[in-house]
Amino acid sequence: MNEQTLEKMKTMKLHGMVRAFSTSLQAGNADKHTADELLSMLIDSEWDERYNRKLNRNVKNARFRYKAAVEQINFDAQRNLNKNQVLRIADCEFINKKENVLITGSTGVGKSFIASAIGHQACSLGYKVLYEHSAKLFARLKGGKADGTYLKEIVKIEKQDLLIIDDFGIQPLDQQSRTILMEIIEDRHGKKSTVLTSQVPVNQWHEVIGEQTIADAVLDRIVHDAQRVEIKGDSMRKKRTNLSEELTEEEN
């Protein structure tokens, strides 16, 4: 009977239940549980199995730059990071409120890592997330206009609960990139959330976007009511390099 039950579970793709029931049978614990306890164990196992599959799928689809966790964020005083603010953002309530987050700071200070950590947290909470490097995003969408995949890409972006655009403003936008950015932001405004990281201070984004009318429209939708995180301090990459060199010297 147990074998038949396991086969039926496999047929119904109840993989979590199969694993839990098989383990219980092998350990000789199945008869030690009451019916309620056994049912609860099986359902919990199936729930965990499906949650983990969905999480892994969301993380894979997001294409994060870093495998990062909120617990790994460095809150050293010199970084000027408000720990309470970052942790509030990491609870992802801003996604429910359809708000944006702007993370700025000089190169190497950890903007991308923090954005990736927030993205991973969003995935763990069941949100659909997409991580994009700004230059690669605009290049791909420009190519999409040429090969006919543009609309498909735009629809995919629009469906994401959270869009992370990394290294925004690394170079001034041309006319085609401005139009693409305007369409992305317009589609998401008041409906979905966007995280942008940039080496350029927010008050200089107008110059990066160019063309006053479009810049005004984009910034009005991005910046209004957005939560801002400004990171200071030295480059984290430089610190890691110096530490590695010091350790090497000690070993020698």
Of 49-63, 119-133, 201-215, give the lowest mean pLDDT range: 49-63
pLDDT, tens digit (0-9, with 9 covering 90-100), for 127-158: 999 999 999 999 999 999 999 999 999 999 99
**pLDDT at 216 > cutoff 70:** yes
Closest among 107, 129, 90 to 233, alpha carbons compared: 107
Which residues partner with 163 through β-bridges?
A: 130, 194
> Percent of the chain scored above 70 by pLDDT?
91
Q: What three-state secondary structure class fits 229?
A: strand
> How, if at all, do strands 193-198 and 162-166 pair?
parallel
Closest among 151, 150, 154, 173 to 163, alpha carbons compared: 154
CA distance 250 to 252: 5
Contact 116, 65 (CB under 8 A): yes
Local structure of residue 100 (DSSP, 8 states): -
pLDDT band at 250 (very low <50, low <70, confident <90, very high): very low
pLDDT, tens digit (0-9, with 9 covering 90-100), for 181-203: 999 999 999 999 999 999 999 99
What is the separation of C-alpha 190 from the centre of its chain, rounded to a whole number of angstroms?
19
- Structural domains in the chain plus CATH codes: 2-61 (no CATH), 65-236 (3.40.50.300)
The residue type found at 96 is N
